[in-house]
Amino acid sequence: MSSAPPQAASVHHASDTQPDAAAADDHLAADAAAKAAAYAEATLSPARHAHKFGGSSLADPDRYRVAVGLLDDGARERVAVVSAMQGVTDALLALVAAVRDGQDWAPAWSALRKRHLDTALSLDPHRRHGTIEALEGEFERLRDTLEGLRRDDDETLAAALSGLGEVWSSYLIHAALGGAPAGWARLDAREVLVVHPGEMGVAVDWARSRENLGEWRKRNDAANVVVTGFVARDPHGRDTTLGRNGSDYSAAIFANLFDADALTIWTDVDGVLSADPRLVPDAVCLPSMSYAEACELAYFGAKVLHPQTMAPVQQRGIPLRIRNTRNPQAPGTLISLRPQPGAAPVKGLSLVHDLAVLELVGNGMVGVPGAAERLFGALRAAGVSVTMISQGSSEHSICCVVRADQAQRGRNAIVAAFAEAMADGQAQHVLVTPDICVLAAVGDGMVGLPGVAAQLFDGLAKARVNLRAIAQGAGERNISVAIAARDATRALRAAHSAFWLSPQCISVGVIGPGKVGRALLAQLSAAQPRFQREARPQFRLDLRLRALADSRRMRLAPRALEFEDAQALEHESEPLDLDRFAAHVRAEHIPHALIVDCSGSDAVAARYPDWLAAGIHVVTPSKHAGAGPLARYDAIREAARHGGQFRYEATVGAGLPVIQTLRSLLDTGDELTEVEGILSGTLAWLFNRYDGRTPFSALVREAHELGYTEPDPRDDLSGTDVARKLVILAREAGRPLSLDQIEVESLVPEQLRAVSKEEFFARLDELDAPLQQRFDAARAAGLSLRYLARLDRDGRASVGVVTPQPGHAALHGALTDNLIQFRTRRYADNPLVVQGPGAGPDVTAAGVFGDMLTIAQTLGARA
């Protein structure tokens, strides 16, 4: 069944209910498509152009001057329909309320009068156009009316007074445009426009209005006309209005009456957005849409357009553009008969709040004709508006979505209508489910395209949103779902990401912008253009950096931080809060989340299980998780089985595929027997260079100056870092090894382990004698020294200085090469060796980057 509210049909085809108007305009219907096609190019200047300016576009004299400039568009004839100055309509309603409540309304009247007279003086300083005199007369008449207003006066008079702001505004812009000498006439819509109440709101008497305009044109032959929006007269000649948002409706009506080639509505947004930007930060401005799409979105609560606005322009095929007076360079949104196809099948998403579900359940209704008719007839008689209808093919139940404030009245009406059936047991329940929202996905691109509903439902399922009811019309341009109000924002964001963002859009947070972190950001910055150039949108990778943190501060970006300038945390930062950091990265409007931890902090590693369980992927070069407490390691692996992915290739061998290689061996059924290798780029460099002639301490100083060591070289020389890497490899192979089970040889003498870094450097030569002695002994045996990590087939693990036998792979390394030798059941006699640079921020960052891309590829990206 159709998900559009019942009133949509008659508003959508307003002319159908008015035979006179339809007869008068039949000759125009045939060329509607041709007119729309003629205005397909956004840059074309129409010959007859109607403009409408909203209150925010007419807030003060400067805004009026901007509007004047926008009207200079090159059209041969122009019609400018104006709203009241911003806030004036509310001020008029407050004046009427103050009179009825017996309050002193004079100060408010004076303030309103002064605001308009000041604006008039600014726009017409030489009083050439009689603007001030006209406004003074208007305000005197308003004061007389307010003084005569009685508490028991009907609402008609109050409604008429609320439209005076448009009248005053028309005087102001007429003066700003130069008035009659500049070729501008001023039309008070009450002289022309005749309306009457209709079932769906105010309806236009097109025949009388067109006749009235013809008479007015005989008296006013100016090519350009300023028209008051919002106001009209009823069939009895009494002043009235078109209701809230009526100025847009007025603009569409007069675009129709003046036979305009185009209508531009100037407002304070760039156009129609794909979703409410207050709820969806990634909402985008739609370049074009069809009348039907605009109507659907308007019915379902889109704020830019009122549903009635579409009918008069659609009737004559007049293209409508929404543009921003504060950003006139933006092209806005073009609404026409045949818009350009969008990148996504869905053009927009909208939420309707404050609803409830009414459900009639009855076993006896199966196959019985007339049950739905009786239900909706009861609701109509009770004055209950139905927003959405859903019924299963079993006919066991019928449910509909109604306004929350009408739900109980609707239930009572249904109970009364089915009282006999319920007494006979044919109908069982009439249930009310409160706190409901309806999410509507709208788009002409959905028509005939398989998989759109699946895409929507998959996005909602990933966001853990339960659907209470589903409806899609046979026209296929609207899918509506009823959901719990508490899930509304999450559902909207999830649906938007399903259609508008790349399926591989990943919200990224980086912790630890040190050497490795900075190198990673630089690599991401360089690669991002390549990811966005992918020819097929479904394979593009959008790595969106949204958060950055060090040990004390963090920066959280609503949309994204630029990679190249993200490292500066001294600006726009706030104190570090890891819970807020993770929640921000796990944004509901972005499909995936990933935290990169380059901090080397054990406290950060302790958060991994919770992050992974929440669906956040984690990538790290830090060894605290893989080599830390075994219980935490097990918790991380368990969370990764059911939540986010955990990648840590750079923890062993920097950018070398060490863990990947081991994992491949094990996953294909091989069995690891031994691991042996050089797992420190710093120690590799030191022992590759150490030849007994240069003191070992001098090499340590040189390595420190080259940046190969940690700030305190003892962190490298102690062997602890190598031991942690060995723990990670052992655990990857299924051996529950802990750091305290490894025999670690430290190259730092006992007497230097607790001293300050400065003292350590001062006494660094105390390392030389022990190592010189070992070197001489090895050379005497024809051997060399290397610092190796070993895990044998019996599970014994050790880290320290050894003398490999000639031909050992460790003797063939160069500079900072890491070298890992795997012996397995398949590689028993000739071990598998992974070798390459294993130190430096660039290669480590590359390993981290590789893990990020691996995760992206599992999500469908082709990087």
DSSP string, 383-426: TPPEEEEEE-TT-SEEEEEEEGGGHHHHHHHHHHHTHHHHHTTS
User: Can you tell me the mean pLDDT for 356-380?
Assistant: 82
CB 227 within 8 Å of CB 254: yes
Structure tokens at 679: 């797992």
Q: Is 725 a catalytic residue?
A: yes
**Judging by beta carbons within 10 Å of its beta carbon (0-12, 13-18, 19+), is residue 158 exposed, middle or buried?**
middle
Q: Is the pLDDT of residue 342 over 60?
A: yes
Closest by CA position to 381, among listed 410, 418, 421 = 410
Residues 425-473 have pLDDT tens digits of 777 888 999 999 999 888 887 887 888 888 888 888 877 789 999 988 7
Looking at residue 503, what is its pLDDT? 67
Quick one: which of 675, 648, 808, 794 has its CA closest to 730? 675
What are the angstrom distances between the C-alpha of 138 and each of 134, 169, 191? 6, 12, 16
Judged against a pLDDT cut of 50, whether residue 23 lies above it is answered with no
DSSP string, 443-476: -GGGTT-TTHHHHHHHHHHHTT--EEEEEE-TT-
Which residues 6+ apart lie within 8 Å of 434 measured at CB? Answer: 356, 404, 407
What is the arithmetic mean of pLDDT over 255-274? 92
Residue type, 579: D
Residues 619 and 596: beta-carbon distance below 8 Å:
yes
Paired tokens of 722: 């190598």
For the cut 50, the answer to whether the pLDDT of residue 15 exceeds it is no
**What's the pLDDT at 100?**
84
Specify the pLDDT at position 309: 82
What pLDDT, in 10s, does the model give residues 169-222?
999 999 999 999 999 999 999 999 999 987 667 899 999 999 999 999 999 989
Quick one: which of 285, 267, 268 has its CA closest to 276?
285
Q: Please, what is the average pLDDT of the chain?
A: 86
Among 138-147, 273-282, 411-420, the minimum mean pLDDT is found in 273-282
pLDDT for the residue numbered 202: 85
Cα-based distances in Å from 98 to 107, 146, 594, 848: 11, 10, 57, 67
In order, the DSSP letters of 230-289 are SEEE-TTS-EEE--TTHHHHHHHHHHHHTT-SEEEEEESSSS-BSS-TTT-TT--B-SEE
Cα 851 to the center of its chain, rounded Å: 26
Mean pLDDT of 622-642: 93
The pLDDT, as a whole number, for residue 36 is 35
DSSP annotation of 182: G
Contact 721, 777 (CB under 8 A): no
Q: Where residue 244 falls among pLDDT bands split at 50, 70, 90?
A: low
Query: How far is the C-alpha of 608 from the C-alpha of 597, rounded, in Å?
Result: 10
pLDDT of residue 119 exceeding 60, the answer is yes
Helix (H, G, I), strand (E, B), or coil: what is residue 352?
Answer: strand
- Whether the pLDDT of residue 540 is over 80: the answer is no
Mean per-residue pLDDT for 394-411?
88
pLDDT at 247: 87
pLDDT at 34: 41
Asked if 704 and 861 touch (Cβ cutoff 8 Å), the reply is no
Q: Pick the catalytic residue: 218, 462, 725, 757?
A: 725
Task: Report residue 52: phi and psi, to 5°.
Answer: -135, 135
The Cα–Cα gap between 110 and 818 comes to 84
pLDDT the model gives residue 249:
92
Task: Give residue 152's pLDDT band: very low, low, confident or very high (50, 70, 90).
Answer: low
Give the mean model confidence (pLDDT) for residues 813-823. Answer: 89
| Res 151: pLDDT | 60
Question: How much is the pLDDT for 761?
Answer: 94
In whole angstroms, what is the distance from residue 359 CA to residue 290 CA?
A: 34
pLDDT the model gives residue 45: 67
Instruction: Say what the pLDDT of residue 40 is.
Output: 39
Q: Say yes or no to pLDDT of 773 above 70.
A: yes
pLDDT (average), residues 147-166: 76
Phi, psi of 740 (to 5 degrees): -75, -5
Compute the average pLDDT of residues 97-104.
88
Kindly list the distances between the CA atom of residue 695 and the CA atoms of 717, 731, 759, 768, 774, in Å, as whole numbers in the listed order: 15, 37, 18, 6, 13
Q: How confident is the model at residue 28 (pLDDT cuts 50, 70, 90)?
A: very low
The sign of the dihedral angle between the CA atoms of 276, 484, 395, 378 is negative
Q: What percent of the chain has pLDDT over 70?
A: 88
Strand partners, 227: 81, 187
Left (φ > 0), alpha (ψ -120 to 50) or beta: where does 282 sit? alpha
Q: Is the pLDDT of residue 22 over 70?
A: no
DSSP β-bridge partners for residue 543? 506
Contacts 24+ apart (CB under 8 A), 621-625: 621/516, 621/648, 621/650, 621/651, 621/654, 621/844, 621/847, 621/848, 622/597, 622/598, 622/651, 623/651, 623/721, 623/724, 623/725, 623/728, 624/600
pLDDT of residue 280: 81
Q: What is the mean predicted confidence (pLDDT) over 61-87?
A: 94
pLDDT-based confidence at 88, cuts 50/70/90? Answer: very high
Q: What is the largest CA-CA distance in the chain?
A: 120
- Tokens, residue 106: 């004079």
pLDDT the model gives residue 494: 82
Q: 394: pLDDT confidence band, cut at 50, 70 and 90?
A: low
Specify the pLDDT at position 180: 93
Q: What is the pLDDT of residue 502?
A: 64
Identify whether the C-beta of residue 789 lies closer than 8 Å to the C-beta of residue 799.
yes
Average pLDDT for 577-595: 90
In angstroms, how far is CA 449 from the centroid of its own chain?
24
Determine what percent of the chain is predicted with pLDDT higher than 90: 57
- What pLDDT does 372 receive? 83
Residue 559 predicted with pLDDT over 90: no
Given a contact cutoff of 8 angstroms between Cβ atoms, the answer to whether 545 and 505 are in contact is no
Tokens of 451: 């998989």
* 708 DSSP 8-state letter: -
CA–CA separation, 808 and 104 (whole Å): 100
Residue of 560, 573, 462, 463 lying closest to 509 (CA atoms): 560
Question: What letter would DSSP give residue 830?
Answer: S
Residue 248 and residue 208: Cα distance in Å, rounded?
A: 21
Distance, CA of 366 to CA of 507 (rounded, Å) = 49
476-487, pLDDT tens digit by residue?
788 999 999 998
pLDDT value of residue 538: 53
The pLDDT value given to residue 16 = 33
Mean pLDDT value of segment 233-251: 88
Say if residue 134's pLDDT is above 50. yes
Average of per-residue pLDDT across 813-821: 88
Confidence grade of residue 256 (pLDDT, cut at 50, 70, 90) = very high
Q: Band of the pLDDT at 539, cuts 50, 70, 90?
A: low
**Per-residue pLDDT at 627:** 94
Most confident of 198-202, 274-278, 735-739: 735-739
Q: Is 435 helix (H, G, I), strand (E, B) or coil?
A: strand
Token readout for 185 is 């006439």
| Three-state secondary structure of 124-142 | CCCCCCCHHHHHHHHHHHH
Max mean pLDDT among 267-281, 426-440, 616-630 falls in 616-630
User: Which string of DSSP letters, residue by residue, matches 5-60?
Assistant: -THHHHHHTGGGG-HHHHHHHHHHHTTHHHHHHHT-STT---SEEEEEE-GGGGSS
Residue 856: pLDDT over 50? yes
pLDDT at residue 155, rounded to an integer? 65
Q: Is 542's pLDDT higher than 90?
A: no
Confidence at 403, pLDDT banded by 50, 70, 90: very high
Residue 66, classed as helix, strand or coil, is helix
Contact 392, 377 (CB under 8 A): no
Residue 3 has pLDDT above 70, yes or no: no
pLDDT band at 4 (very low <50, low <70, confident <90, very high): very low
Q: What per-residue confidence (pLDDT) applies to 131? A: 95
Give the pairing of strands 320-324 and 262-267: parallel
For 220-244, what is the mean pLDDT?
A: 91
Residue-level pLDDT at 160: 77
> Of the ranges 494-498, 536-540, 741-745, which one carries the lowest mean pLDDT score?
536-540
